Amino acid sequence: MDSETGKQIVKKVSSNIDKTYDSFFGTYTILPGQLVHLDGYSFILKNNEIQFIKDSLETKLISITFKSNKLRYYNSEVLPSMKFEITDIIYKNIDVNDPIRYVLNDILLIKEPSTLYISYQPVQKIYAVKNYNLATCFLMKKI
């Protein structure tokens, strides 16, 4: 209660769940040397979209939209991991024969409709992107 006005003050308290959820959004760099075709791409995670962006002569953009994102739990405890339900993948300035399409769809199994997981590895301070089989696709670091 405010002593001057007599009104009750409500303070917003951020929970660990909110902090964990918010910590996933932002811009990442894909660690080099994992897959040659991913080198040079940035990974941007927004509230309803994931973007792969590569700046070259013509900027390449892969936009993955999802209908839901949620934290994962185990035994009622929040894990440093999120699940994304992919609804659509849009390729901009990327040729049909560009190897990145083959890498994402056929090798990493990132396609629509599907599920994508991102988990945080606190010891190494890196994030792992996993496909619907929970196989690690690539590692990245938040910038």
**Predicted confidence (pLDDT) per residue in 25-56, tens digit:** 999 999 999 998 888 889 999 988 999 998 77
Q: How far is CA 137 from CA 28, 33, 45, in A?
A: 15, 13, 16
Cα(first)–Cα(last) distance of the chain, in Å? 41
Q: What domains does the chain contain, in order, with CATH numbers?
A: 16-142 (2.40.128)
Summarize the confidence of residues 48-73 as an average pLDDT: 88
Tokens of 83: 């699940």
The structure's pTM equals 0.82
The tens digit of pLDDT for each residue in 91-143 reads 998 888 989 999 998 999 998 899 999 999 999 999 999 999 999 999 999 99
